[in-house]
Amino acid sequence: MARATHATVLAVSIALILGIGAGGAIVTSSAIAAPGFTMTIGDLEPYTGDLGPLGAPADKAVKLATAQLNQAAKQAGLAVTFKMITADTRSDPQAALSAARQLIDQGATCLTGPASTPESLAILNSVTKARRIPMLPSASSVKLRTVDDGHTIFRTVPPDNLQARALVLAVRQQLGGAQGKTVAIGYQNSPYGEGLANTFKQSWTAMGGRIQGPFGYDPNQPSYDTEAGKIVAGGPDAFVFADFPDTFGKVSAALLRTGKFSATKLFVSDALAVSPIPATIPAAALNGAHAVNAGSPTGTPEAKAFNTLYLSAPGPKRSALDANNFDSGILCGLAAIAAGANTPSLIAAQLPKLSGPAGTPFTYLQLAAAMRALRAGTQIHYVGVSGPIEFNAQGDTSAGTYDLSTWKNGALVLVRQINAKE
């Protein structure tokens, strides 16, 4: 269901602790050993627009993180309340900027999302950098590694150089090697699409493979028949696409019209890892195709518990990057606990310190203990549902676990996992 820009508040109230000062004057809890405060997480998601299928699952993940933070704070005996408010970016940079301003005006001091690089850059350049407000986007373009963000951007989602590596490894195994094999690449003209296409090309050709394209296209073209004809020409061994759902729906229809396209030869990046297949994409274009997206290491207690937590809660089914969005929400809250205040600049300064490898490891299953440790001045290392998070100088993780899945009867089914490192 389409959702206009809105604000949704999720909070578990925890009474603020009051102390008695000298002469019997009442002072707020900020004057005692364990200060109390309310921290608001602002969640920026694309409920509508090109990335619309990704919005609701991401929003649900951050809601769950907020609830876990509140439960842990209560267990730890802390007078801290966490709230979450959310707004629709509409998959558009200007709309995302308006949404960010709306959330910040309502008190948000740490932002999760948005989902694309243009949205992230619009918010960074106009609002968050100047005001030192931390932002944890799910945008994965390597372009975000090159901008001067004033140390305000942190990503639990691995950057696209790692995703391209995971795609290369997946295609290479499928084809029994890269030497002499031709891969046709299609991508939407955006930092996300272009970055993935070029990085894949470099890696594939370095292995002795051949590239057809890459072929870029704009999301508002009247027709994609020309690009589709070029992509399927000569019968390449595999197809790789870096695109968003709405645009790919139109491109894939053109591919099917050629009569030379097979979904079983198709590999797509994380923005297309949607399940079930949305109505805007022909099912024949994805059933049998393969998707690579950042995932959670299987078998860990926190991954198993998160899966149960997510599936038992009302709302959408699991989707790409839900674990990463959950981890982003948890990190916002832990950084506020470490800062001992609801001050954006202090929260931003604490985020790198939570990412290891130094520090005592804690997962979200140990949040109350992690909060008590932070209040005692102990450095911790948050081990996320998506895996160990170790921010580098650019605020990015240096390794990533990726799910390789295949669409069967309209739904993604996990095949195996791929570990990619810089």
355 within a domain of the structure (yes/no): yes
| Same structural domain, 179 and 242 | yes
Q: At 278, is the secondary structure helix, strand, or coil? A: coil
Whether residue 180 lies inside any domain: the answer is: yes
What average pLDDT does range 67-87 have in this prediction?
A: 97
Q: Is residue 10 pLDDT above 70, yes or no?
A: no
Residues 24 and 138 in one domain: yes
In this structure, are 341 and 376 located in the same domain?
A: yes
The CATH number covering residue 356 comes to: 3.40.50.2300
Residue 85 vs residue 143, higher pLDDT: 85
* Predicted pLDDT of residue 393: 87
Query: Would residue 313 count as lying in a domain?
Result: no
> Mean pLDDT across the stretch 173-180?
97
Residue 314 domain-assigned (yes or no):
no
Tens of pLDDT, residues 107-141? 999 999 999 999 999 999 999 999 999 999 999 88
Distance CA 182, CA 204 (A): 9
Does 19 have pLDDT greater than 50? Answer: no
How many domains in the chain?
2
User: Which range marks the domain in which residue 113 is found?
Assistant: 10-157+321-391
pTM of the shown model: 0.79
What pLDDT digit, counting tens, does each position of 36-63 carry?
Answer: 999 999 999 999 998 898 999 999 999 9
Distance CA 194, CA 141 (A): 9
Burial of 264 (0-12, 13-18, 19+ CB in 10 A): exposed
Average pLDDT over residues 301-327: 94
Residues 52, 191, single domain; the answer is no
Query: Do 15 and 153 share a structural domain?
Result: yes
Secondary structure E strands in 46-112:
80-88, 108-112
Assess whether 367 and 284 both reside in one domain: no
Q: Which helix (H) or strand (E) holds 124?
A: none
- Regarding whether 414 and 276 lie in a shared domain, the answer is yes
Residues 103 and 196 in one domain: no
DSSP symbols for 300-363: -HHHHHHHHHHHHSSSPPP-TTHHHHHHHHHHHHHHHHHHTS--HHHHHHHGGGGS-SSSEEE-
**What tokens does 43 get?**
């969640």
Terminal Cα-to-Cα distance of the chain (whole angstroms): 39
406 shares a domain with 349: no
pLDDT for res 142: 87
Residue 117 covered by a domain: yes
In a domain, 333, yes or no: yes
Percent of the chain with pLDDT over 70: 92
385 with 405, same domain? no
Range scoring the smallest mean pLDDT among 218-232, 245-259, 319-333, 380-394: 380-394
The verdict on residue 103 lying in a domain is: yes
Residue 13 has pLDDT above 60, yes or no: no
pLDDT at residue 26 in the model? 30
Contacts of 120 (CB under 8 A, 6+ apart): 96, 114, 135, 137, 139, 144, 153
When the pLDDT of each residue in the chain is averaged and rounded to a whole number, the result is 90
Q: Are residues 250 and 278 in the same domain?
A: yes
Mean pLDDT of 352-370: 92
pLDDT tens, position by position, 154-169: 999 989 899 999 999 9
Pairing assessment for the beta strands 80-88 and 10-11 based on DSSP bridges: antiparallel
| Residue 34 confidence (pLDDT) | 52
* Segment 285-291 mean pLDDT: 98
* 3-state class (DSSP) for residue 421: strand
Residue 231 above 70 pLDDT?
yes
Q: Do 366 and 286 fall within a single domain?
A: no
User: Of 19-33, 37-51, 305-319, 321-335, which gets the smallest average pLDDT?
Assistant: 19-33
pLDDT of residue 8: 38
Q: What is the pLDDT of residue 389?
A: 84
